[in-house]
Every structure is written in structure tokens, then in C-alpha cells.
Structure 1
């Protein structure tokens, strides 16, 4: 089979009121960014041994579901399978369960005897590494998939764990006595279930909470989910962005004002906002006239400023992608998720928290991916991008 599509009810966008509102969301996204900036080996099993498995160090205890917007899907583990709600994460590569619903070993479960420790900046898990049968959707079965089983997890309320679909190198150092742990996509390809080591992701903006509006395509792309050409760009060689799904891009506000010169950063489903290096964020704030809202911590603009808001133009691999004014704002019908005021206009562009030149100067997060079809192509070490019917949508 060349490709397998996972769509519909098992694949949801999760939106629920955050305990700490948008400030909690910002804290989570920036903690995650700092973890990325530290590099892939900064938080590993080896560092866990040094500081004690249950210590979270500088990690924040953040609710990754309640703090904003995430995508989850139902993943079956075991024979017969138990269904777990897992967060889809391109910024990490370990798949694990047990944060909420306990793991139940079955006839296909094998305890490797090895320990697993993974930190996300915004959360931490520790436990035992198993191999087991994993089922994606109703028919896509993976044999002997490495699965972490959490004995301790902090920062993952509302989900059972993570479906890690980042580069496999991110698993290095996370499991004792193990070089790396092939991802679900790696194993699907190695076992001959899919013909290409590639994952296509289609997200869509929505003013409604908890809707089934996303799609994963393992082994290919779904041309019905994008418009025009799927453009490809090689992954960046600049560290630390090169450890993740990193690319080079520049960003302009309007047709003529460059706010971020060509530099490296990442595309990440696990980050909600669009984060820019501090200098670029400050230039954006000045250009828009936005002010920081004391309640949410986000930038906010008036209705008149929104009427004058210009597109952000992303130049990636010589192709320009138009991130429209509507794409730059939080869905106004969902302001309660932020702890914000009804009808107020909040911007999703925020400060990465580090200066230009760090080797990771932007994160194109969830809000950005909702507007552009994205293909994470491990086999060819490239990223594919295309416009969709939602690129110019006014849903927000």
C-alpha cells in the first residue's frame, strides 16, 4: 500500500478553557522553545540519572491540553488494543502512554527492561520502555513498536501521552541501553506498510472547539487537501534547528518591511503560537501598533488596527507564502480559551524569548500549520509545503 490516510473522529483539535489562560499557553510554548534551543541531547535519560528520575529540574508543570490548542488522535496499543488519546508531536520522536489511562500489558507486550526519560520543556515523563503492537486508525498496524510506559508524567493532563513523529535522532539518549527508537513512521516504512518514509499533515482553522478537522497521511500526501503545487525545501543544516524539522525562511510584514532576515527555525505541531526572535517580534509589534494585553500576555489590536493589518509573507525556498491578517489572530469565538474578553482581537505572533542568530529564530506552530499543508519527508530530508482552501479563510 502506497499511503494510508487517517482522518475523521479519531483525530481532533482539542480546545478547553485553560486554568492559566493564554499566559499559561505562552509559558508552555516558550519553555518548549528553550528546550529546542538547548539541543536534542539536553534533556535525556542520561541527564535524568544525574538529577534523579522524578526531578523535573527547570521544567514547568504545564497542562498541554488545557493551555490552548493541540491535535490528538486515538492510538491502539496491545492485542487486543487499548485506545489511548495521544498528542501528535513533530517536535519529539518517542511514542509513549500512561500519563492518564494506565498501560495494560497484553500478549504482544514485551518489557525491554530499559528505562525511558523524556523532557519537553513543558512537561516530563519517566518510565519503562516496552515494545508492542500499535494500531493507527482502524487498519494500520505496526509490529514491535517501541512504546514508553510512564510511571511518572507531569504536564500532560487531558491526554494519555505522545505520538512522536519528529526525526528519529531525537530519541537518542532517551532510553537506557538503546541507540535510538524508530518512530511509528520509520517502522511503517521498514515493515513495508507504506512506500515512502513521509507524513503528510492537514490541519484546518475552526471557530468551534473539539472538531474532527485534521488528517494524517502516512507514506504520502493527500492532494485533495492542498491547492496548487506542493513545494519542497531541504531541511536546514543550522544547529540546533537541524535536529528538528528545521528550515530556512525570511519573514516580511507587508510587501516591503523585512522583520526577519533569512534564518533557521522549525515547523512544530506541538507549539501553538507563531514565535519569532525578539528583534523580529518587536518590529512586528511596532508595525502593527499592537500592545501587550495584561490579562493574556498576548498582543492585542483594535478593530481599526485589524482593518489595517498587513499580511506576513514567509519566503521559504524561493516561494512566498501569504499568512493573512485573519491567520494572525486568535479565533475570536474562542477567546474564553485564553481567559480573554469577548470580541477582543488577540494576535498569535509572540516573542520566542531569544535574540536573532541563535540557530533557531522562529517556530511556525499550530496556527501556522492550519493554513498550509505540510509534508514531513524523512526519506528525502525535506519539508513539503502547499496552500490549502483555508490559507485565505476568514474563520478567525
Structure 2
């Protein structure tokens, strides 16, 4: 099976394709696939990047509806899947397999196709007779549930995987659907039976194809030569991190506990911006989202001002020179975003409608106050600086530094 290493940036009405050769890496200890990166915004000329992430966060905060808990006599299935920065992998469905370009999402758990290339039924396809639907921040999909053979890589084949086949979808751009690797509880409520559907990771572990029900994810800043991501199945690949992985248990605080949720505090220049609080680690969010009161404290500490064109905080060159590390205390360890890691990649400023020479910060207002069980979302702009491990077997999340943790690429 071939996996794309092209990197596609699509914003508004233009796209740029960059395909640098990946640097040589030691042979992986675990099965892995390379992920292609895409950057995109809706072409309406109005939607700003923070708006997309806030829409996703609003859905995450409304998790009780997704789990089928009634409010005002209504139930809803809600998962967030859209973001401006996405990573995709080529995944085969059926036998012989048709290749689909699927978004890798730790913030959802359903796997579905049909947003782009239509589903091709083969001898391994079986319609379960159930409908499936997922609503998210600015779109949805609905269709039929099938059981089919799914091929992640030549040595990673799932004989019977639940997949959604969309007959209607919105909010997914330049991809065929989603490969959800969040906790399986997130699938509850997506079908009329409200059953929990095993994820692709669950099924790979159950079949013995991988030794542990875990995945490791490596990203890199978009301006580095190594622009592809890597998803490792079954554990952490030491070829992609430079410090010992440190693990913390999944938080017990709802609704973050249903996701890859952790407890962390945030410090800036010896000031506590956020005491120990629950939130989530999410590849489907682009920015670092902070509860409104925490965001205001960060805004005050940095001197940033909201930019009307991009919706991001904008700082001067002098303010950038005075930035301190933004420290995330996770368990007994501190993971720092350097000043450079706190700013949006400047060569992508115009893709957001911003000034090419301006400096924008990657922290944004979540749109809700703290104390609701999800005070932060560590999105892609955080994750590109660290290797992360999502370990279902031990109900924990791991973090390690990479060669790009202290990069000055932005």
C-alpha cells in the first residue's frame, strides 16, 4: 500500500503543494504510516481560524448530548471533526481495496468515508441495516453503517471493521472521511442502537496485529524539511522523540474524561495562568484553546491585541522579543512552548488573511469560562512540538520532546 507524503496547504481560493523528501529514519520498531498535512479554511472569506476551533470546542463541551443524555426531551450525536490543519492517511476499504484519504482525528472515534470518493462495495462489504450520523462544529455526516475489511498498511488489516458510509456530509474539505482514533465511548449515540463501536485501534489490538492498544503521533512544524506526520500503531517509536516519554492518566473530570483528557496547569513567566485543570489533547483542533478567563490572563501577560482580519492575538516585534516560555505542567513534568512555538508560522500569515510581516499568537479564546470540565484544548500547534502517545490499554497519555521542541521555524 502506498501512503502519500505530499503536503497540501489550501486556504480560501489557492493551494500550494510541497513534497520535500523525508529525512532518513531508523527502521521503526512498530508498524507506522506517514501522514500528509493539509492546511485549509472554508472559502467563504468570512470564517476565521479561531471560529473553527471554537465550534469544535463547543461540541466537545456538549458531550452529554453525544452520550445520549436527554435534555429538553432531545438527544443528539455530536462529534467534532473539522479543523484548519489536518493530517491524512491513505486507508484501504474492501477487497480488493479502494484507497480513501482519511483525516486522522484523536477527538472522534467513528471511521467513515464518502465525503469525497464514493464507497465501492466488494465481497467483504456487509450492510448492518443501521443508520449512522455524526454532527460536529460546522458540519455533519449521515449514512449507513457497513462492516468491511480495512487495510491500514500491508501488515495491518482488519477483517471486520464498522465504517460509516456517508450519503450526506458537510464540513470536510479535500478528504474522503475520518479515521477516528479517539476513545470508543465517543461512538455511543452515533447509531440508533446507541452501542459502543470498537475503533480501528481496538480491533487491531484485539486481533493481535499490534501488541498494545496504543498509538504514537509525531508532527513537525510546517516550515521544517520533515513536514509529514507519522502515526505509529501499538506504541511509541523512539526514532521520533528525544526525551523519555512521560505518562499521565486520563483525567476523571467530565466531559474531558471521555476524550484523550489530561490534567495540567499552565505557567507564564512565574505567573499561574491556570491552576490544575482538566482539558484534552486533540489533533483535530489547530490552535491552543484556553477558557475565556485563562485566555484573558495570557492576553494581558503578553500584551497581545485581537486582530480583526485573523481573529488571532497580534503582537509587535518588541513584544515578541519579550515573550517568556509558556509552561505546561503535566504530572511531575514541565513541557514548554518557547516564544517561537507560541506564534503562528509567519509564512502562513496571508493564508489566514493576515499581514505577511505580522506576528500572531497561537492561543485563542475557547468561548466558555473555566470550571466546565474542559478548560483547555492542546491542539496541533502544541502537538507539533512534542511526541504524543494515546494508550487505551493503560488509560493514559504520554508526552516526549522531539528534535523540533525548540525549533525556531516559525
Say yes or no: TM over 0.5: yes
1:5 aligned to 2:32? yes
Q: Select the structure with the greater relative contact order (CA < 8 A; seq sep ≥ 6).
A: 1
Segments of 5+ residues of structure 1 without an aligned counterpart are: none
Give the whole-Å Cα distance in 2 for the aligned partners of 1:342 and 1:268: 28
Match of 1:245 among 249, 260, 268: 260
Query: With structure 1 as the length reference, what TM-score do the two structures score?
Result: 0.91
1:1-396 maps to which residues of 2 (within 5 A)?
Answer: 3-7=30-34, 11-16=35-40, 18-20=42-44, 23-39=47-63, 41-42=65-66, 64=82, 68-177=84-193, 179-207=195-223, 212-254=227-269, 256-396=270-410
Question: Structure 1 pair 38/50, CA: closer, same or farther in 2 (3 Å)?
Answer: closer
Give the whole-Å Cα distance in 1 for the aligned partners of 2:178 and 2:68: 16
SS of equivalent to 2:272: strand
Offset at residue 176 of structure 1 (A): 2.2
- Asked if the contact 2:65–2:76 (Cα under 8 Å) also holds between the matched residues in 1, the reply is no
Offset at residue 21 of structure 1 (A): 6.1
Residues 164-192 of structure 1 show CA distances to partners (whole Å, capped at 9, x for unaligned) of 00000111111123511100000000111
Query: With structure 2 as the length reference, what TM-score do the two structures score?
Result: 0.88
- Asked if the contact 2:343–2:361 (Cα under 8 Å) also holds between the matched residues in 1, the reply is yes
Offset at residue 103 of structure 1 (A): 0.6
Give the whole-Å Cα distance in 2 for the aligned partners of 1:355 and 1:52: 23
CA RMSD of aligned residues (A): 2.5
Question: Structure 1 pair 20/316, CA: closer, same or farther in 2 (3 Å)?
Answer: farther
Offset at residue 138 of structure 1 (A): 3.7
SS of equivalent to 1:229: coil
Give the whole-Å Cα distance in 2 for the aligned partners of 1:325 and 1:20: 32
Residues 250-277 of structure 1 show CA distances to partners (whole Å, capped at 9, x for unaligned) of 00112x1111111000000000000011
Give the whole-Å Cα distance in 2 for the aligned partners of 1:177 and 1:18: 34
SS of equivalent to 1:228: coil
Give the total of aligned pairs.
Answer: 382
Give the whole-Å Cα distance in 1 for the aligned partners of 2:118 and 2:151: 17
Offset at residue 304 of structure 1 (A): 1.1
- Asked if the contact 2:391–2:397 (Cα under 8 Å) also holds between the matched residues in 1, the reply is yes
- Asked if the contact 1:128–1:150 (Cα under 8 Å) also holds between the matched residues in 2, the reply is yes
Superposed structure 1 runs of 4+ greater than 4 Å apart: 20-23, 43-47, 49-53
SS of equivalent to 1:36: helix
